[in-house]
Amino acid sequence: MYETNFHKAATAQEAAALLNASEDGKILAGGQTLIPTMKQRLADPTDVIDLSGAADLRGINISGDQVTIGAMVTHAEVAGHAALAALCPSISQLAANIGDPSVRHRGTIGGSLANNDPAADYPAAVLALNARIRTSLREIAADDYFEGMFTTALEDHEIITAISFTAPTQGGYGKFPNPASRYAMAGVFVAKSADGTVRVAVTGASEDGVHRHGGLEAALSADWSASAVDGVEISSDGLLSDLHGNAEYRANLIKVMTKRALG
């Protein structure tokens, strides 16, 4: 790891100010990507601004069918939150299967979304749930937030503060883990809202990161069932081919994981 200046912020606003003042600063949320990257000497930030002391970024709030999750809420907290599990079991189940126990107790939802790893789980949930990403500057709709692999709508000095969404009436997440990393090789989040709108988001499979799948959304809007998925053509165009599986395999996984997401 290269030398860096470490700061601990007490609030999101203080963190944003520190970030703004730094030459090439990085926000440290759970550190599950940043720290290994720094240890491999692949990242060399001048400043690291730790959010672990920022109390305003913590907590899960539920009001009716409205859910707000603080950016610094860990995967384990999401997985273990009883009221959230009752209202939106799909996101609890997703969180419970991220990484391993150590990752789940350090990694945070805000960190995951800010990093936007193309194989991370949360982006699929946030996009399918039509969530809103609250930041130190504004609120961004999920459809406007994800801009491809490791790329988001966040400005340089913008910090995610919370994620909010309306719980779907039905939803689920089907994940096929990479045998080595256990990131998603294909993860499909399906959600149906009270007004009948269906959103399907796919992570892990695409060269462009998380994306919605129009064909699957149309089929499931008409018929919320596994058999509806059978008829959908999943193109392998633009899907990843790597040593763990080619694009055709990933196209197959998208279909199978969609069916499994339906339960």
Stretch that binds other proteins, among 102-110, 165-173, 201-209, 239-247 (CB under 8 A): 239-247
Stretch that binds other proteins, among 87-95, 140-148, 211-219, 243-251 (CB under 8 A): 243-251
Q: Which is nearer to other proteins, 173 or 249 (CB)?
A: 249
* Minimum gap (Å) between residue 255 Cβ and other proteins: 9
Cα 183 to Cα 5: distance, rounded to the nearest angstrom: 30
The residues, ordered by sequence, that sit 6+ positions from 121 with a Cβ below 8 Å of its Cβ are: 94, 95, 97, 98, 112, 173, 175, 184, 187, 203
Torsion of CA 70, 96, 168, 162, to 10 degrees: 10
* Minimum gap (Å) between residue 249 Cβ and other proteins: 5
- Asked if 225 interacts with other proteins (CB under 8 A), we say no
Tokens of 151: 């790329």
* Minimum gap (Å) between residue 188 Cβ and other proteins: 13
Query: Where in 191-220 is the site for other proteins (CB under 8 A)?
Result: none
Q: Which is nearer to other proteins, 13 or 252 (CB)?
A: 252
* Minimum gap (Å) between residue 93 Cβ and other proteins: 17
C-alpha R_g of the chain: 18
Q: Which is nearer to other proteins, 165 or 176 (CB)?
A: 176
Alpha-helical regions (H) of the chain: 12-21, 34-39, 75-79, 82-87, 89-96, 101-106, 109-115, 122-128, 142-145, 214-222, 226-230, 247-261
User: Closest by alpha carbon to 240, among 195, 209, 205?
Assistant: 205
Q: Is the dihedral of CA 250, 255, 256, 259 positive or negative?
A: positive
Q: How big is the site for other proteins, counted in residues (CB under 8 A)?
A: 19
Residue 175 carries which side chain, given as an amino acid letter? K
Q: Which is nearer to other proteins, 151 or 181 (CB)?
A: 181
Q: Which is nearer to other proteins, 82 or 180 (CB)?
A: 180
- Asked if 2 interacts with other proteins (CB under 8 A), we say yes
Query: Where in 10-69 is the site for other proteins (CB under 8 A)?
Result: 40-41
Contact call for residues 239 and 186 (beta carbons, < 8 A): no
Q: Which is nearer to other proteins, 30 or 99 (CB)?
A: 99
Tokens of 4: 């860096």
Tokens of 76: 């384990």
Tokens of 63: 């009001």
- Asked if 179 interacts with other proteins (CB under 8 A), we say yes
- Asked if 180 interacts with other proteins (CB under 8 A), we say yes
- Asked if 176 interacts with other proteins (CB under 8 A), we say yes
Query: Where in 244-263 is the site for other proteins (CB under 8 A)?
Result: 244-246, 249, 252-253, 256
In the complex, which residues of this chain contact other proteins (CB under 8 A)? 1-3, 40-41, 176, 179-181, 183, 242-246, 249, 252-253, 256
